Amino acid sequence: MAATLIDGKKVSDEIKAELKARIENLRHCDVIPGLAAVLIGNNPASETYVSSKAKACDKIGIYSEVIRREAVATQDELSDIIRELNRRSDIDGILVQSPLPEHIDELAVTLLISPEKDVDGFHPFNVGMLLLGRPLFRSCTPYGVMELLRRYDIDTAGKEVVILGRSNIVGKPLAAMLVQKEKFANATVTICHSRTANIKEVCRRADILIAAMGQAEFVKADMIKDGAVVIDVGINRMPDLSSEKRYKLVGDVDFVACRNKASFITPVPGGVGPMTIAMLLTNTVLSAERRLAGA
């Protein structure tokens, strides 16, 4: 029997509808949530991501602003932009789109963003608070995974969760979320990476397998146990001569092979991807609500 599809597009639309009501309440108090994106250089993928975020903001009533600079922009120029955004009362969230040019110190940039406007959830303060179970903002992609599990009522308490990938953006923060003492957490978590021995055997133990390693269709059917929940965070381009674009998007999971073995599975595209922007919007609205509460 084919697995139940976890529809990230549907859930993200539900979240955006809920956010519209919260934004309307803020507007009644003369508060309009504001999100600023800083884009350095002309990376096509970054342009696409930033454009998608701006459109999503506009659709639900969040003020969005994109600040563009050439790839030759200096560290000092970028620092000045962030300091100004930190000061602005109409901006509740700041994101600096990665990747940055090699001459830019990305950690220094992250440290400069006010933790109260760090809607990406990357600042060490927010990472530390997440580990303590008292997050100000959660990193958007793992937050989206957690929201999918919650909205599909997938119980994680006492379950064995295996995460493929140890990135600071997905793997590590997701593990921190899953081990918290709260509903839809309380899991036993294993993180696998390039040095993990017997990775197939580890994956087969998983009640919930989360792939976030950036290797196209790495997870095969023989790596999951019957009835496992499979969450695919990966997004990779594969050649496809039959397509007008000459490529297709696939995840880190062999979807066709695994669908008939899993109980729940996310597709790519349309699974975790839409949730990342939805949770960025959620963090921005939360920041605006905190601004109102502190007024």
55: annotated active-site residue: no
Q: What are the residue ranges of CATH 3.40.50.720 in the chain? A: 140-273
120: annotated active-site residue: yes
Can you give the pLDDT at residue 65? Answer: 97
Q: Which fold has domain 140-273?
A: Rossmann fold (3.40.50)
Among residues 7, 16, 97, 172, which one is catalytic? 97
Among residues 7, 16, 53, 261, which one is catalytic? 53
The model carries a pTM of 0.95
Among residues 7, 92, 120, 207, which one is catalytic? 120
Non-local (6+) Cβ contacts of 295 within 8 A are 31
Q: Which helix (H) or strand (E) holds 161?
A: strand 160-164
16: annotated active-site residue: no
Q: What are the residue ranges of CATH 3.40.50.10860 in the chain? A: 33-115
- Correct CATH for 33-115 of 3.40.50.10860, 3.30.70.1140, 3.40.50.150, 3.40.50.1010: 3.40.50.10860
Would you give per-residue pLDDT tens digits along the chain (295 residues)? 789 999 999 999 999 999 999 999 999 999 999 999 999 998 888 898 899 999 999 999 999 999 999 999 999 999 999 999 999 999 999 999 999 999 999 999 999 999 999 999 999 999 999 999 999 999 999 999 999 999 999 999 999 999 999 999 999 999 999 999 999 999 999 999 999 999 999 999 999 999 999 999 999 999 999 999 999 999 998 888 787 787 889 999 999 999 999 999 999 999 999 999 999 999 999 999 999 998 5
Can you give the pLDDT at residue 239? Answer: 86
